[in-house]
Structure formats: C-alpha cells, structure tokens
C-alpha cells in the first residue's frame, strides 16, 4: 500500500542490536553451527571467534553477526539484550 509502513507502527531502528551498522560490501559471514544451550557455551564462543577472526577489528560487526550463530531460546535471549 502506498504511503504505509510495512511494519505498521514498529520503529525498525528499535529492532536492531546495532543501529546504523554499516556492513562492508566484501564481508562474507561464515556458516555457524547453531547454539541452542544444549552444548558447551565456551566451545561455541571459541568456534565463533575462530571463524570471525578476520573481523576482530570491528566489534559492532561481531556483535551483529553473533545472533546468526544462535537458535531458539538463545536467539530470543540475545535479541532482548540492550
């Protein structure tokens, strides 16, 4: 519909963990095994850090991409953080 917000009255900027994040065009986020709290958290974080080693200079990108490595309740928990 012309002139309407597809999200209704939801402010899209409030839905993102990192407002105004600019992802460089050549960034290729690796595939991650999804963490769902049934396995070792430290092993998951270690694997995430290894796979994202090329981007350790960019904390905002690391924070943004971490949600891609989560599923179910861990994803919901992470996205409620401020």
Structural domain includes residue 20: no
Domain that holds residue 48: 34-81
Structural domain includes residue 19: no
Structural domain includes residue 55: yes
Strand, coil or helix: 70: strand
What is the rounded CA–CA span in Å between residue 27 and residue 33?
A: 19
The tens digit of pLDDT for each residue in 17-66 reads: 787 888 888 888 899 999 999 999 999 999 999 999 999 899 999 988 99
Structural domain includes residue 68: yes
Structural domain includes residue 71: yes
Structural domain includes residue 14: no
Contact status, residue 47 vs residue 34, Cβ threshold 8 Å: no
In this prediction the pTM is: 0.73
Structural domain includes residue 42: yes
């Amino acid at each position: 519909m012309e002139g309407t917000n597809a999200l209704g009255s939801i402010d899209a900027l409030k839905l993102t963990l990192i407002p105004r994040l600019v992802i460089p065009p050549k960034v290729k986020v690796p595939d991650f095994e999804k963490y769902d709290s049934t396995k070792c958290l430290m092993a998951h974080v270690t694997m995430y850090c290894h796979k994202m080693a090329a981007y350790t200079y960019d904390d905002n990108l690391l924070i943004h991409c971490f949600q891609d490595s989560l599923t179910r309740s861990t994803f919901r928990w992470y996205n409620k953080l401020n």
